[in-house]
Amino acid sequence: MKLRTAVGIFIAISFALFLALAASLFRVSELLDRSARDVALAGEGIRIGEELKSTLLTHNRNAFLYSLRGEPWRVDTRREQRREIINILANLRLVTASPEEERIVTELRDQVQIYFDQRRALAEAGVSPLAEYLQISDYVNGVVVEVDRLTALNSARMNLVMAEIDERNALANDLAILLLSLSAGLLLALMAAAYFFAARPLSRLAASVESYGKGESGARVRPTGLTELKEIGASFNAMAERLEQRRQDQLRFVASIAHDLRNPLHSIRLAAEVLTHKIGASGDGGGERELSEMLRRQIRSLDLMLQDLLDTSRIEAGHLDLIRTVRDIRPLVQDAVDLHRSSAELHELILDLPDAPVLCHCDPLRCSQVMNNLLSNAIKYSPNGGVITVRVESGGDNVEISVHDQGIGIDPADLSSIFKPFQRSAATRETIPGIGLGLSVSRRIVEAHGGRLEVISVPGEGSTFTIQLPRAQAEAQMPPLREPLQRPGSERDVRH
């Protein structure tokens, strides 16, 4: 799904939710308003009915007292009260809310009219006040009964409306809870969608790019999430594939050149051997002997460079095959030290080995290659000589082999890059020969054994390279400590 579509859907859902919320609140408040008006009308009906009742009773009492005592001011009061009763009846009609109430109000008006008519008739007939009072009471009662019916009707309506209000309140509460739950659900869904479709794919993308940046050329992105992120992931993968393809082409090219150069180099080497032999047999020509020796050394060093190039291309192409056996690592280390001791005139090589066998599951030729690389570096990068200490320790699950020198050391800024192919520290680039492959090949060999190759160095004081290899658990048939390793052409490994 595209980001724009996702945002559009979210806005549409939020808007719909907001509209639903507004409409339902509006509807509920309208209903409550109507109910409140109904209650007010019913209350007003009851109040006006009671007012009618009391005014009529007062009028009746006033008329009786007038008949009894003949006080003239009561005439005016009675007239005033009659007008009041007519007004009340008119008001009562205004607050009726049903045909039944209308009917009662009409009935009331008729009853009141009868009351006035009868009162006038009795007054004209000249009956005694008591007889008049007794006769007129029936009409008054008729009005009172009608008012009570109206009051009962209004009370019932009031109760009904109150029940309705309760229902609507409950409905409003339910609606609010529903809308709140929907909003919370929407928010949760939004958060989950943001996590699954944006945050997680983004962090995976970042992790893959970071791994790729650190040199993991096989790191790829699994395209997930929003379409835009999938597109970025797919573009990254396509770019990584193209680069990988180009790298493989370059490696194949380097490997084929290195391979093709080895045959003529082999012939040159044989010719140099013959030449050296002939010069040696002639018994003179000191200058030529030195020249032929130099030729042999240069050919050896060229051979080693080609070997490293071939190894590098094999390793980078993932074709490093190890032939591993469980063996004591001590003879292998001792052999490498012996090999270099003969050619290191300025250096003192100290070997510190444990007494007990140190078992490793390793390819002896490849491990010798690593030891030789480290030792040749230790000698090469201590141009003023010094002590080189090689120590083998066995503890826990690991075997540790360290090579410590008192040489020029390595700048902290170069520490991580010197393990990459063709990388050399700035301090040695111009002054000490090398192509920068020994350490990268060595680290890949150690890692292929499931181990680690690390360095600690102080510029001007020296460096310590440490190999950590997993210790072998199984006992194995081991060669004796002094047995020389099967190393075809081992002398070519002395390369400093």
Ligand X SMILES: Nc1ncnc2c1ncn2[C@@H]1O[C@H](COP(=O)(O)OP(=O)(O)OP(=O)(O)O)[C@@H](O)[C@H]1O
- Shortest Cβ 496–Mg ion spacing (Å): 8
- Is residue 147 within 8 Å of 133, Cβ to Cβ? no
Q: Which is nearer to Mg ion, 73 or 422 (CB)?
A: 422
Q: Which is nearer to Mg ion, 104 or 378 (CB)?
A: 378
**363 Ramachandran zone, left/alpha/beta (phi>0; psi -120 to 50):** beta
Which residues contact ligand X by CB under 6 A? 308, 373, 377-378, 381, 405, 407-410, 418, 424-425, 428, 434-440, 463
Q: What angle, rounded to 10 degrees, do the helices at 99-125 and 3-69 form? A: 10
Secondary structure of residue 487 in the 3-state scheme: coil
Q: Which is nearer to ligand X, 111 or 440 (CB)?
A: 440
Distances (CA, A) of 381 to 55, 425, 432: 125, 11, 8
Contact between 377 and Mg ion (CB under 5 A)?
A: yes
Where do runs of H (alpha helix) occur along 342-411? 364-380
Q: Which residues of 470-493 are buried (b: 16+ CB within 10 A; e: fewer)?
A: ebbeeeeeeeeeeeebebeebebb
- Is residue 451 within 8 Å of 469, Cβ to Cβ? yes
- Shortest Cβ 199–ligand X spacing (Å): 41
As a whole number of Å, the end-to-end CA separation of the chain is 60
Q: Which is nearer to ligand X, 293 or 411 (CB)?
A: 411
Q: Output the residue with the shortest Cβ distance to Mg ion.
A: 438
Q: Which is nearer to Mg ion, 232 or 337 (CB)?
A: 337
| Choices 33-41, 64-72, 194-202, 431-439; region in contact with Mg ion by CB under 5 A | 431-439
Contact between 425 and Mg ion (CB under 5 A)?
A: no
The residue among 166, 115, 182 whose CA lies nearest residue 143 is 115
The residue among 411, 408, 347, 415 whose CA lies nearest residue 375 is 347
Q: Which is nearer to ligand X, 421 or 470 (CB)?
A: 421
- Shortest Cβ 402–Mg ion spacing (Å): 17
| Choices 171-179, 373-381, 405-413, 464-472; region in contact with Mg ion by CB under 5 A | 373-381
Where do runs of H (alpha helix) occur along 283-317? 286-316
The residue among 307, 312, 378 whose CA lies nearest residue 344 is 378
- Shortest Cβ 476–ligand X spacing (Å): 31
| Choices 100-108, 184-192, 271-279, 430-438; region in contact with Mg ion by CB under 5 A | 430-438
- Shortest Cβ 191–ligand X spacing (Å): 50
Distances (CA, A) of 123 to 71, 117, 139: 15, 10, 15
The residues, ordered by sequence, that sit 6+ positions from 162 with a Cβ below 8 Å of its Cβ are 39
- Shortest Cβ 416–ligand X spacing (Å): 11
- Shortest Cβ 284–ligand X spacing (Å): 35
The residue among 322, 344, 338 whose CA lies nearest residue 444 is 322
- Shortest Cβ 406–ligand X spacing (Å): 10
Secondary structure of residue 403 in the 3-state scheme: strand
- Is residue 52 within 8 Å of 88, Cβ to Cβ? yes
Contact between 436 and Mg ion (CB under 5 A)?
A: no
- Shortest Cβ 434–Mg ion spacing (Å): 5
**Which does residue 435 touch among ligand X, Mg ion, none (CB within 5 to 8 A, set by kind)?**
ligand X
Find how far residue 130's CA is from the centre of its chain: 98
Sign of CA dihedral 127, 84, 90, 41: negative
**Which does residue 331 touch among ligand X, Mg ion, none (CB within 5 to 8 A, set by kind)?**
none
- Shortest Cβ 377–ligand X spacing (Å): 3
Phi, psi values for residue 387, rounded to 5°: -90, 135
| Choices 333-341, 436-444, 457-465, 477-485; region in contact with Mg ion by CB under 5 A | 436-444
**Which does residue 378 touch among Mg ion, ligand X, none (CB within 5 to 8 A, set by kind)?**
ligand X
**Which does residue 424 touch among Mg ion, ligand X, none (CB within 5 to 8 A, set by kind)?**
ligand X
**Which does residue 428 touch among Mg ion, ligand X, none (CB within 5 to 8 A, set by kind)?**
ligand X
Alpha carbon distance 204, 229 (integer Å): 10
Q: Which is nearer to Mg ion, 45 or 438 (CB)?
A: 438
Q: Which is nearer to ligand X, 96 or 425 (CB)?
A: 425
Q: Which is nearer to ligand X, 146 or 308 (CB)?
A: 308
Contact between 438 and Mg ion (CB under 5 A)?
A: yes
> Which chain residues interact with Mg ion by CB under 5 A?
377, 438
